[in-house]
Structure 1
Amino acid sequence: MSSICSSSSASLCTDVSPRPDALGADELARALAVRDLSDPAHGAHAVQLVVDTLVQALRASWGSRIRLIRDHPLVAVEDNYERLGYPQDAISRDARYTRYVSRTCMLRSHTSAMIPPALRELGQDAGGGGYRWRDVLLACPGMVYRRDVVDRIHTGTPHQLDLWRIVTDRRTDVDDLDEMIAVVVGSVLPGVPYRVVPAAHPYTEHGRQIDVRVGQEWVEIGECGLAAPRVLAGAGLRPAVSGLAMGLGLDRLLMVRKQIPDIRLLRAADSRIAGQMLDLAPYRPVSRHPAVSRDLSVAVPAEADAETLGGAVRDALGPYANAIEEIRVVSETPVEALPPAAVDRLGARPGQKNVLLRVVLRDPARTLADDEANAVRDRIYAAVHRGTVHQWAGPRPPGATTDER
């Protein structure tokens, strides 16, 4: 297995001029300080075993040459979006969901951002009128940066694995794709039922979503399709080249494999839990600490959604975010539909809406005292409430306005 550490994407970040919605220096430093569980250089973790299992299974099935690629999470916006076929008006490009660093640089939102530079390198690996390779598997694991909902299976820094099989002188087809799906699921989740449903992606044709059965629910673990010819051509590859493209959620795969109930456990510091994150054996539950619920009624911008609210909470709470098991939107009401008393109580303004949030607090390693739960509640409240009147559960935080109840 060959290993490549490419910096070609980050080198395209030529315009360092700021944009008003870019991350500040402190925010960027905090983001880059988060441990990438998929990288052995950051210490051993079971996420790496999932990567190894998948790559070796596909290698055994196809005999492909393996290129394992790890790259810096700072990437060119072009490689994260344009070179993968995302249109300029794609909602995912909005700063509410993407963590921009400058006009041309961002923290990657998916490991697919490593694919365009890797394809360009393949295009340059030629000689004697042809390529020096015939069948290559690009394996790109890494941590990505999202603004996402807060619950047991989502995080703002998930781990992904892109697997692209690139071949020359042969056209890959949907039968090859079906085989790839079967090998992937069968190797890392043996015996687990799965299904595929149609899904559209800008960088694939005949796109699929892969779901696995967990209890009574179907849980998405990845997406795939035939590599779009325009993406391959855009990297300088010849028309004879074709491929398969797949992106997998490593956290989800590990959780299903080990029967882990909460994604926060993957990063738990408690030695009873952390010691179990070094293998693929079933998770043995540590004593379950009681949950604490708090309901928050807040005024937020009309365009706010569960993902942006979750991102705001994670950004504001930092390490305290580990105490949050779930934040669920219970109801939403436009300001115009609220009774006057409710508008006054919130200090709501035109263009806002009232959102009722149910916050479930449960630290993975210990029981939260009431004052701790109230302090976390108030941090969440301060992070999302945009009304002019505030209602705190604990002492008024420093710097809070005087119009409070």
Structure 2
Amino acid sequence: MLIRVLSIHPAHAFRMAMPLSHSPLLKSPSYLLLRHHSFAPPSLYRFLSFRSLSSPLSSPFSSLSSNRSSKKWKQPIAALLEIGGVKIAKDDVVKENDPTNNVPDTIFSKLGVELHRRDNHPIGILKNAIYDYFDTNFPAKFVKFDDLCPIVSIKENFDDVLVPADHISRSYNDTYYVDAQTVLRCHTSAHQAELLRKGHSHFLVTGDVYRRDSIDSTHYPVFHQMEGVRVFSPDDWAGSGMDATSYVAMDLKKSLEGLAKHLFGAVDMRWVDTYFPFTNPSFELEIFFQEKWMEVLGCGVTEQEILRRSGRMDGVAWAFGLGLERLAMVLFDIPDIRLFWSTDQRFTSQFSEGKLGIKFQPFSKYPPCYKDMSFWISDSFTENNLCEVVRGIAGDLVEEVQLIDNFTNKKGMTSHCYRIAYRSMERSLTDEEINQLQGRVREAVQSKLNVVLR
């Protein structure tokens, strides 16, 4: 894959993320499952340019432009990239004057980085280990895609994966919208339908995916997924004495149990029935690893509607999806998801191509600094927007944002108190730095989020 920087200009370097709000809807089982295991359909969206769309859809988040940081934290952002033959201009992705756009500079700066294509990076090492398993057990069967453009239509990202029109995962609070009809993919499933239509029956799709998410050691607004799909024809199950769904489900479980053993060794496993809108039946695979049960992936028998829309009228398929960071953190003993993006040689030099499971040796134990912030919230307040503001100023120096107290007074006003943990993975932070950051955070929170500081 070709990544070519054609022109450069400076912009601040910090990444943004967003946590889930505390509403019951956002914590519903089906929503959380979709966030972690959206692995089924949508299609390959090759965008060459974007036009501003005239749409009544507006976003309350479009005003959350990131603050400029001091010179010591600036990094270059490519003004024009070429990824897999697709030219991407910054102005096509970050549209400050489009009310439906909520993509900040810091997210655009991740386009084209593609950690999964680096053979000596933990993410790339894990990807290649999974490739090795499928190449060994299904010789010359699975076609691999790892350079597909991450900018897709909402049809590909949601509709083709059978996500209901009113599903919360479509909200601006969770998804990065380029415009009213275009998003940064939330899952590698955004390419499944197109690949099926093109005639592929066995394929693996790996890529960077984007979601507004929490700020803590296991959540980041950019991470990496792998999707696997296998389509069966009637001849495959004809002599088995089983119906098509049972036969495909059996093959799915056998294949993924083998993958788990390939990655983790001889571990105990169990299957848990679950729900996804794009598979039926649906399962999660858990392994007993390091003295506890750990969820490894989500999977299931693909909904027939997806295959019918793709012209596969008589086929039955299985699909799985897994998060590479989630597994890499366990296999390599990496304690903080921010480390995957580190360019510090003390981190990068620890990993080598083909060496799965080398245990990360911490090179720093710098202390955290905690700052509390209390304010009266408005009806439009969400934690995702708070974290967007905090990470926009502090970048990867913010380790966690946690709600530690809330109450409603007799006048019906609600107060939230958040504890912000600042910690660098590479150096000690000074009191002056932290106080300056916290001061800027407080100013931005009050001005951008329509809250009143206490």
TM-score bracket, shorter-length normalisation:
0.7 to 0.9
Which of 215, 234, 239 lines up with 2:309 in the alignment? 234
User: Which residue of 1 is the match for residue 67 of structure 2?
Assistant: none
Cα distance per residue 1:321-353 (max 9 Å; x no partner) = 2112211122333xxx2267xxxxxxxxx7x73
Which of 315, 330, 334 lines up with 1:256 in the alignment? 330
Higher alpha-carbon deviation: 101-110 or 182-191:
182-191
Cα distance per residue 1:91-117 (max 9 Å; x no partner) = 000111111112221110111101111
User: Relative CO higher for 1 or 2, CA cutoff 8 Å, sep ≥ 6?
Assistant: 2
After TM superposition, the runs of 4+ consecutive aligned structure 1 residues lying more than 6 A away are 12-15
User: Which residue of 2 is the match for residue 20 of structure 1?
Assistant: 58
Seen in structure 2, the aligned counterparts of structure 1 residues 165 and 380 have a Cα distance that, compared at 3 Å, is farther
Report 1:3-402 matches (<5 A). 8-11=44-47, 16-17=52-53, 19-21=57-59, 24-25=94-95, 27=103, 29-34=105-110, 35-40=113-118, 44-63=120-139, 65-69=141-145, 70-122=147-199, 136-169=201-234, 170=236, 171=244, 172-191=247-266, 193-213=268-288, 215=290, 218-239=293-314, 241-278=315-352, 279-280=355-356, 281-302=358-379, 304-314=381-391, 316-317=392-393, 320-333=394-407, 337-338=408-409, 353-385=414-446, 386=449, 389-390=452-453
Aligned length: 355
User: How far 1:159 moved relative to its partner?
Assistant: 0.8
CA distance in 1, matches of 2:278, 2:363: 42
User: Which residue of 2 is the match for residue 3 of structure 1?
Assistant: none
CA distance in 2, matches of 1:173, 1:7: 23
Tell me the SS of whatever aligns to 1:226: strand
User: Which residue of 2 is the match for residue 396 of structure 1?
Assistant: none
TM-score (norm 1): 0.79
User: How far 1:61 moved relative to its partner?
Assistant: 2.5
Q: Residue type matched to 1:66 in 2?
A: F
Q: Is the 8 A contact 1:143 1:157 kept in 2?
A: yes
Seen in structure 2, the aligned counterparts of structure 1 residues 262 and 212 have a Cα distance that, compared at 3 Å, is farther
Q: Is the 8 A contact 2:378 2:451 kept in 1?
A: no
Q: Is the 8 A contact 2:43 2:191 kept in 1?
A: no
Q: Is the 8 A contact 1:324 1:360 kept in 2?
A: yes
Higher alpha-carbon deviation: 246-255 or 300-309:
300-309
User: How far 1:296 moved relative to its partner?
Assistant: 1.6
Seen in structure 2, the aligned counterparts of structure 1 residues 167 and 265 have a Cα distance that, compared at 3 Å, is same
Cα distance per residue 1:128-178 (max 9 Å; x no partner) = xxxxxxxx4311111111111111111000111111122223334322222
Seen in structure 2, the aligned counterparts of structure 1 residues 114 and 8 have a Cα distance that, compared at 3 Å, is closer
User: Which residue of 2 is the match for residue 133 of structure 1?
Assistant: none
Seen in structure 2, the aligned counterparts of structure 1 residues 245 and 325 have a Cα distance that, compared at 3 Å, is same
Higher alpha-carbon deviation: 80-89 or 323-332:
323-332
CA distance in 2, matches of 1:15, 1:143: 24
Tell me the SS of whatever aligns to 1:173: helix
Q: Is the 8 A contact 2:378 2:450 kept in 1?
A: no
CA distance in 1, matches of 2:290, 2:452: 44
Q: Is the 8 A contact 1:152 1:262 kept in 2?
A: yes
CA distance in 2, matches of 1:194, 1:150: 30
Q: Is the 8 A contact 1:329 1:357 kept in 2?
A: yes
Tell me the SS of whatever aligns to 1:236: coil
CA distance in 1, matches of 2:440, 2:193: 40
Cα distance per residue 1:341-397 (max 9 Å; x no partner) = xxxxxxxxx7x7322212221111011111212233334434544456446xxxxxx
Cα distance per residue 1:17-38 (max 9 Å; x no partner) = 0553367436455423212211
User: How far 1:277 moved relative to its partner?
Assistant: 4.2
Tell me the SS of whatever aligns to 1:159: strand
Seen in structure 2, the aligned counterparts of structure 1 residues 384 and 236 have a Cα distance that, compared at 3 Å, is farther
User: How far 1:250 moved relative to its partner?
Assistant: 0.4
In structure 2, list runs of 5 or more residues that go unmatched: 1-41, 63-92, 97-102, 237-243
User: How far 1:276 moved relative to its partner?
Assistant: 2.0
Tell me how large the CA RMSD over aligned residues is.
Answer: 2.8
Tell me the SS of whatever aligns to 1:376: helix
Cα distance per residue 1:277-315 (max 9 Å; x no partner) = 44431111113111111122133344655445434433x
In structure 1, list runs of 5 or more residues that go unmatched: 1-5, 126-135, 341-349, 392-405
TM-score (norm 2): 0.71
Seen in structure 2, the aligned counterparts of structure 1 residues 99 and 164 have a Cα distance that, compared at 3 Å, is same
